Amino acid sequence: EMAAYVDIDMGTVLSSDGALAYPQEYLDALCRMAASLFSRTPSMAGHAPFDIATLASVTGLRVFLRRADDPAHVLCRLCAPEMTLPPFLDHAQAALGDVR
C-alpha cells in the first residue's frame, strides 16, 4: 500500500511512495511510531536490538525494518491485511540493503 523511509534519530521522513497518499502528519506519526518501537532494546546484556517490528490489525499490517549498518534508518511499510509476511520480509530486507 505505502512505504516510507525514515530517520528515527532526526525524526524525519526521507521519502515515501505508494498506491495510497497520506498527509505529512500521518507520515510524521509513522516515523514517531518507528522511533518508539526501536527505542525499546532488550534489557539483558548481550542481546542485539530488534531489527524487525510488525503491528497487525484487521485493516492492515505495519512492518518496520531497521538497517543493520545504520540503525537510525527504518523502512516503514503499510500492507494489506492478507499480505504474506515471510516472502515480503525477504524482498524488503534485500531492498533495504540496496539503499545507500
* Residues of the chain with confidence (pLDDT) below 50: 43-47
What pLDDT sits at residue 100?
52
Short-list 92, 40, 22, CA closest to 64: 92
Short-list 63, 54, 59, 46, CA closest to 6: 63
What pLDDT sits at residue 47?
47
Instruction: Print burial letters for 7-46: b (CB count within 10 Å at least 16), e (below 16).
Output: bbeeeebeebeeeeebeeebbbebbebbbebbeeeeeeee
What pLDDT sits at residue 32?
95
Short-list 94, 86, 42, CA closest to 61: 86
What pLDDT sits at residue 30?
93
